[in-house]
Amino acid sequence: MEFVDVESYYLVALISGFLGGLSHCSFMCGPIITSFVVEKHQPKYSIYLAQFFYHSGRIFTYSMIGFLMGYGGFFVSNLGLIIGIKNTIMILVGIYLILKGLEMVGLIKHLNLSFETIGNTTKLFSNMILFLRDMSSSWKYFLYGLILGFLPCGLSYTAFIASSGLNDPFKGFLFMFLFGLANVPALFFVVSFSYRVVQTTRSILYYLTAIVFIVSGIYFIYSQVHRFF
């Protein structure tokens, strides 16, 4: 029995991924990606190829995390059914999305929802990246994406948590695949063409992303609560 409109969930993945890519990823990750895939005296076609490999690795990491989160949601949801509370994780995900959206627009103070710093994670990833720099194969860009897909990021971690609400590992996989795929246009544009062009529209897009989170959170909570009445 489905407790959530799966098609609406996938639509949220695409919209939040696309808007988040324009308002957040292009500014936070764009310069990082550029430093990895753009090298001196590099033909333009090789920049495109490097980005293809990088995003393939990143999306693969996102998708596998979505698979695991969906599996975890499935376990929690079934436990909820046993104790008589239907799909509690869906309600918790909805609350989280609302709080995250309110935080993004500045209506509530920072509540440590972004997971921006986690121990020595960044140092560990830095050491891995330094090791890969000496590789001559184009597959190093795939490995870059594979590794950097784990980097602490408020937007992607919000999506990871949201994917658990699907209560299904394969649906969680597809949710994060679509989210990661929707990030690509903005990141590709920033790395390949211009960083400044999208800078003026950042705040507007950031607020639109927050609105998507808030509306989605309200919908997800409503879709569960109304079943009790």
Report pLDDT digits (tens) over 2-21.
445 677 889 989 999 998 88
Give the predicted TM-score (pTM) of the model: 0.73
| Token duo for residue 83 | 């104790």
Name the most confidently modeled range: 37-41, 115-119, 149-153, 181-185: 181-185
Q: Where are the domains of the chain?
A: 6-37+58-116+153-228
Lowest-pLDDT range of 168-172, 176-180, 184-188: 184-188
pLDDT above 60: residue 228: no
The 3-state DSSP class for residue 3 equals coil
φ, ψ dihedrals at 220, nearest 5°: -65, -40
Residue 181 confidence (pLDDT): 96
CB 113 within 8 A of CB 95: no
CB 148 within 8 A of CB 58: yes
pLDDT above 50: residue 69: yes
